[in-house]
Homo-oligomer: A and B are copies of this chain.
Amino acid sequence: LSSTDLVERLLAGDRRALGRLITLVDDGTQEGKEAIVKLFPKTGHAQIIGITGSPGVGKSSLINAIVKCLRAKKKTVGIVAVDPSSPFSGGALLGDRIRMQDHFTDEGVFIRSIASRGSLGGLSRSVNNVVRLLDAFGSDVIIVETVGAGQVEVEIVKVAQTIIVVMSPGYGDVIQMLKAGIIEIGDIFVINKSDLEGAYRTFEGLMSVLELNQKKEGWNPPIIQTVAVANKGITELVDTIELHRDYIQKASILTSREGKRIENELIQLVNERVYEKITKGDIGEGENLNTIVSKVLSKQLDPYSAAQRILSALGKAKHYP
């Protein structure tokens, strides 16, 4: 099937076409790019939720409960689970998916895992484009879940309009999260397993950090206490997600966040094309990246002058890139 066929089938609601296109996009193929170009005007409908938190806090159970609640409201859901750490944890991810088996046979839920392969930039763009496919497919809500809670996860979860940071008693050191920049990006905080001992201490610890970390945009991130496996606190959480969505729409934060995200994407795409240009073949005046690196290695050229030389050559190149 050509990407044009697949795009048409996706728009007609064909789940297998969606799955195939996700693979093409995730593999970074030309067909994947073509599909995104074609489907891009059809995006913008879905509400995108990011969920991050340390392993063990119960993110999968929480998502399971949220999806149940959304399905009761007749909303369709797409889930992208991302493990940036390595292909090694594919197994763990799959295990998590199986725990979501409540929705395994539900036509209104589409679940897909994405593992790391190579650069963070590549992974972020992959996630971004998979979200676009799910959006064009017609998902009402898209949930992007990261497996861990670190700096890399922060970058990925930024694709979302509403970011939920999940903790649980004993897991998810607040200081560690502060250092990773996770506290900063959280729109809603969840203390899951809040029936366990130590829940109040976790609540207090988070509270005091949030007070220090006053939110810039006029939204004070609430802390919701849940017991996902017992379905406790889930309605409150889903309502709060709605509240946040209304808030960012009114305050036109939605557009400014989206604009920032697109800006980053464009810069990254430009960087990649420039990279291709200067690594593959000639950049003019008989120079290429290799010959310039050699000159720096032999101290004929310093790195700053070398970069300048590449830039001049790029500017003079006739067929760019």
Contacts and interface: CB of A to CB of B under 8 A. Distances in A.
Is chain A's interface secondary structure helix, strand, loop, or mixed overall?
helix
A148 to B, nearest CB: 9
B320 A315 contact: yes
Contacts of A304: 33, 36-37, 269
A273 interface: yes
Contacts of A56: none
Interface residues of A, number: 56
Interface in A257-285: 258-259, 262-263, 265-267, 269-271, 273-275, 278
A186 interface: no
A40 B302 contact: yes
Nearest to A181: B86
A271 B297 CA distance: 20
A86 B179 contact: yes
A21 to B, nearest CB: 15
**Copies of this chain held together in the complex:** 2
Contact of A266 (B41, B180, B292): B292
Interface string A9-51: 0000000000000000000000001001100110110000000
B266 A270 contact: no
A299 B40 contact: yes
Contacts of A271: 271, 274
Given A151-B152, A307-B273, A299 B262 contact: no
Interface string A310-321: 111011110011
Contacts of A43: 299
B303 A179 contact: no
B320 A265 contact: no
A249 interface: no
Contacts of A316: 320
A99 B258 CA distance: 47
A283 to B, nearest CB: 10
Interface string A112-148: 0000000000000000000000000000000000000
A85 interface: yes
A36 B262 contact: no
